[in-house]
Amino acid sequence: MQAEHVVMLLVAALAAGWVDAVVGGGGLIQLPALMAATTGQPVAAALATNKLASIAGTSSAAYTYLRRAKPDVRIAGPAGLLAVCSAAAGAGCAAVISSEVLRPVIMVVLLGVAALVVLRPDLGRTSRLVLRTPRRTAAAILVPGVLIAFYDGLVGPGTGTFLVMAFTILLGVDFVHASANSKIINASTNLGGLIVFALQGYVLWTLGLAMAVCNIAGAQLGARMAVDRGAGFVRAVLLCVVGALVVKLGHDQFG
C-alpha cells in the first residue's frame, strides 16, 4: 500500500473516531476510505479492518463516558452482552441477505429520525421522567441489544444513530447520556462482527491496529466535546450525520 493511502486512512480513522464518539456514523468516513485503499482485496477485508479500528475507538469512548456521563449500566450491560451474539449472527448472515433490499427501508427510517428530531426540538435536550416498567426495561435492552446489533453486523450504516434514538425514546434520557449508553452497545456489536471476520481470515491486522490508535484519539476528543458541550451539540451532529447517511445510501441505491 502506498504511503499516501496509509496517511489517508489514518486521517479518516481519526475523523471517524470523533464522529462515532459523539453520535455514531463514523463508518461513513472510515469504510469508504478503506474500500478505496484496499482495491484488489475482498470487500470483507475492508469491513473487517473497519471493525478492528472502530472497536478500539468505541471502547475508548465508552470508558470516557463511563467516567464522565455515567451511562445506565443496568440497561447497557445486558444489552451489550446480547449485542455481541446478535452482531455476530448478523455478520454471519451478511453473505446471504442483499443490502440493496434493505437500503430503501433504512433511508425511510433515517428520514423519520430526522423528522422526529426537527419537529420535536425538545427531544433529547434534557432528560425526562419515564416510568421504568418491566416492559419498557425489556424493550430498552432487547431493541438495542438484539435488533439494532443484528443490523450492525448485517449492514452497519446508521447504527450509532439508531442506538442514540432508541435510548432517548425508551429511557427518556438526553442525547449525551443516550450516546453514553450507545457506545457500550456499539463496542459490543463491533466485537461480535470482528470475531466472525477474524475467524474467516479477513482482518488486515497491521493496518487495522494503526488505524485503531488514530480512532482512539478521535474518540477521546469527540466524547469529551459531547460531554462538555451538551445535548444541543450532539443534536446538531446527529442531524448532520443522518443527512449524510441518507445521501450516501441514496447514492448507493440510485447512483
DSSP 53-103: HHHHHHHHHHHHHHHHT---HHHHHHHHHHHHHHHHHHHHHTTTS-HHHHH
Would you state the pLDDT for residue 43?
81
pLDDT of residue 65: 93
Tally of CB atoms within 10 A around 144: 32
Q: Supply the pLDDT for residue 16.
A: 94
Residue-wise pLDDT for 150-167, tens only, equals 998 887 777 888 999 999
**Segment among 64-73, 99-108, 112-121, 159-168 with least mean pLDDT:** 99-108
pLDDT band at 98 (very low <50, low <70, confident <90, very high): low
Short-list 108, 81, 36, CA closest to 187: 81
Tell me the pLDDT tens digit for each residue of 174-231.
Answer: 999 999 999 999 999 999 989 998 998 999 999 999 999 999 999 999 999 999 999 9
| pLDDT at site 113 | 87
Could you tell me what percentage of the chain is helix, strand and coil, using 3-state DSSP and rounding each to the nearest 5?
80, 0, 20
Give the number of other CB atoms < 10 A from CB of residue 178.
28
| pLDDT tens, position by position, 108-127 | 888 888 898 888 888 888 88
* Residue-wise pLDDT tens digits, 7-58: 999 999 999 999 999 988 888 889 889 988 888 888 888 888 999 999 999 9
Q: Is the pLDDT of residue 99 over 70?
A: no
